[in-house]
Amino acid sequence: MKSSIGNKIKLSVFGESHGAAVGCLLEGLPAGFKIDFDALLVQMSRRAPGKDKTATTRKEADIPEIISGVLDGVTTGAPLAIIIKNNDTKSHNYDNLRDNPRPSHSDYAASVKFGGYNDIRGGGHFSARLTAPIVAAGAICRQILKEQGITIGGHIQSIGNVCETSFDPVNVTAEQLEGLSSKLFALNNPEAEGLMRKEIEDARLEGDSVGGSVELVALGLPVGLGNPMFYGVENVVANILYGIPAVKGVSFGAGFGYASMRGSQANDQMYYDENGKVKCYTNNCGGITGGITNGMPLLVTVALKPTPSIAKQQKTVNLETGENATLIIEGRHDPCIVPRALPVLEAALSIALLDLLSEEGKL
């Protein structure tokens, strides 16, 4: 199994949901960067469960320990090992899952792949808990990006059938992103929150779950970042985002909307702004042409599937008996993963962009 990614900035994730700890290794950071640990905890807190009824009631302390690569809060240039101890695990809830794989979970595929030796307690290495160290690593990368004038942000684009106002692809500002960056329920239009919460609560009450989508932005990237073919911004960003559980679609700028456009509509025509910078009137390309940044905001949209762990009875197979079976999943589960997934996706985007910048010596 490979759980690492990146070239110059390399992230390697380890741990199991009900093991001793989850954590990650973050290699390639510049020496001499002072980490803002409070800002890191804010991001951890956005991902942490147990905040309200939209999420699982499990409590996870989620205080990362950085056990290497940092001295007196400053990076030394050596690899950072980040550890998050596990608590509040109730493994007994999962005992019958080895025989009865949960629909749309990795249980069956993983069981075949690992010959049944994979740790299934709480999802093991497949658990969304593994995203906690990604948030910690991403928070550090995000701070380094910020020092370079690059701002990362995002909002919940939709939950179920409730959509909200998208970012203005041309005029989205760093202030706007900063304002969202510590929110548990990050929205451009706060009025959508009630409708979205209702969508989630309706699902929860029915023992069901609901999907959604998020929009991510990066502002301040230098022009010329990326490559035309296989190490382009889109490749690198999509590659890491598909590492986050529940992600089933990734698009850039107008994305799937491009499919029904004419070129004359779609093309982002150019001009010099008052400061002599090259700008586009529109930003359908989401800040990337030919795999390379063009100076416009980087725009990514991500689709997330509904949490597959639902309380309703489902059909499955019994791998032990070789017969069809039914399953009711016990335990505490997120009726909607989208609000908690947003900071994870922002973190992943931060890691990918820092890798691209480092790789090209643009840090």
**For a copy of itself, which is the closer residue by CB, 45 or 208?**
208
CB of 299 to a copy of itself, least distance (A): 10
CA distance 167 to 301: 11
**For a copy of itself, which is the closer residue by CB, 165 or 182?**
165
CA distance 316 to 327: 7
CB of 335 to a copy of itself, least distance (A): 8
Which residue type occupies 223? V
Q: Pick from 30, 1, 4: which is nearest to 240 by CA?
A: 4
| Alpha-carbon torsion angle 137, 139, 59, 131, nearest 10 | -40
**For a copy of itself, which is the closer residue by CB, 171 or 264?**
264
- How far is Cα of residue 271 from the mean position of the Cα atoms in its chain? 34
**For a copy of itself, which is the closer residue by CB, 70 or 180?**
70
Buried b (16+ CB within 10 A) or exposed e, 324-340: ebebebeeebbbbbbbb
CB of 178 to a copy of itself, least distance (A): 26
CB of 286 to a copy of itself, least distance (A): 7
**For a copy of itself, which is the closer residue by CB, 171 or 324?**
324
CA angle 179, 146, 39 (to 5 degrees): 60
**For a copy of itself, which is the closer residue by CB, 175 or 260?**
260
H-only helix segments in 14-130: 37-47, 107-113
CB of 254 to a copy of itself, least distance (A): 7
CB of 196 to a copy of itself, least distance (A): 12
**For a copy of itself, which is the closer residue by CB, 211 or 297?**
211
Show contacts of 105-110: CB within 8 Å, 24+ apart: 105/308, 105/309, 108/317, 108/319
Give Cβ neighbours of residue 38 (< 8 Å, ≥ 6 apart). Answer: none
